[in-house]
Each structure stands twice: as C-alpha cells, then as structure tokens.
Amino acid sequence: MSKYLKLEECEAGEAYYGSGRNFSIGIFDGHTNFHGLRYKFGDRYIDGETHYDADPTHGTFKPFRKLK
C-alpha cells in the first residue's frame, strides 16, 4: 500500500492526486472532504469523498500528492 497524505497535511483549496472510489483528482475543502469530477452513466458532475482518516469505515479518498 502506498503512503498517503494524512488529513492534517492537506491544505484547503488545493488539488490532490489520490485514490478514490469515484475520482483520482480532488480538491480539498479544508475540513474532511475532497470534491472531484465523477462520470456515471454518460453524465458528469461534481461529487465528494471523505478523507480516509476522517472516517476509516466510510472514508474513500487517500491523497498521495498535491498537484501544482
């Protein structure tokens, strides 16, 4: 398993490459969620995923690195 950035290492408003259920690039909201572009049944929309550290049971996004 790759090392991911902990919740406290993430900066509000920054984009991160990571592993999520529905997207791999997300923008951190400064609290616990990442927002990214999701594609489903031919549609695309903004969706959210919770950082894994905030809820290990339901958290689905693990950021690996901040994008420049």
Position 48 scores a pLDDT of 97
Q: What is the pTM of this model?
A: 0.92
- The pLDDT assigned to 56 comes to 86
Give mean pLDDT in consecutive 10-residue pieces for the chain, a chain of 68 residues: 90 98 97 97 97 94 97
pLDDT at residue 1, rounded to an integer: 52
Residue 26: closest CA among 3, 2, 52, 1 = 52
Strand partners, 48: 35
Rounded Cα distance, 64 and 22, in Å:
16
